[in-house]
Amino acid sequence: MERTVRDGVETAKLFRKTFLKGRGKVYALPKDFDTLLTAARAREVKHDAAQAVKDERHKAARARQRELNALADAEKIAAWRAGESVSLSWGLPCMLRAKPSDPGTVETSLRAEVPLGHARRVYGAILNVMKSGVDFESNGHTIPVGVYKVDKITAAGELHAGCHRISFKEIDRFAGERGWK
């Protein structure tokens, strides 16, 4: 660093002489440059030590998060259904629960929320589609559910709404918990 600064002053003097035809001023290094350089090096050492402590804290936090992420999906699902705020794996099938802070709202594992009354109405529609044996596809006639709409209900009872694909097994489990059967 010191050599770079000293070379910079010499380069500036050469630039002034060559291109500015002697005009302008190149300031010399301060007389206490060596003292300033020593202080800068001391600050750098202090900063590096503080950064190392910070990096260790981040490393420990990442290790803890890896431990939490390593929990088996079954444990995460059980915790999520129990009302905990758990980060679920993206590849898991969509699940349903009553929102812990508002039992009148159904929450999906993909974080969508719909009123419980709408979910109850859609459950009845799913049973009707399964009874008929013919898939329902939205083609002008829609089934609203909260701010969303049902795109498709298969004859097997699978619900398609936007990015959600909810199996009948999950829907039936949720309906059983609510006593809708």
* Cα–Cα dist 124/111, whole Å: 23
- Give the rounded distance of the alpha carbon of 91 from its chain centre: 15
> Which pLDDT value is given to residue 12?
78
> Which pLDDT value is given to residue 146?
92
For each of the chain's 181 residues, which pLDDT tens digit applies? 667 777 777 887 777 777 777 777 777 777 888 888 888 889 999 999 999 999 999 988 888 777 766 677 888 888 889 988 888 877 889 999 999 999 999 999 999 999 999 999 999 999 999 999 999 999 888 899 999 999 999 999 999 999 999 999 999 999 999 998 7
> Which pLDDT value is given to residue 75?
84
Nearest alpha-carbon partner for 170 in 156, 142, 135, 162: 156
* Cα–Cα dist 105/116, whole Å: 5
> Which pLDDT value is given to residue 69?
67
Q: Do residues 163 and 151 make contact, with C-beta atoms less than 8 angstroms apart?
A: no
> Which pLDDT value is given to residue 1?
63
The total number of residues shown for the chain amounts to: 181
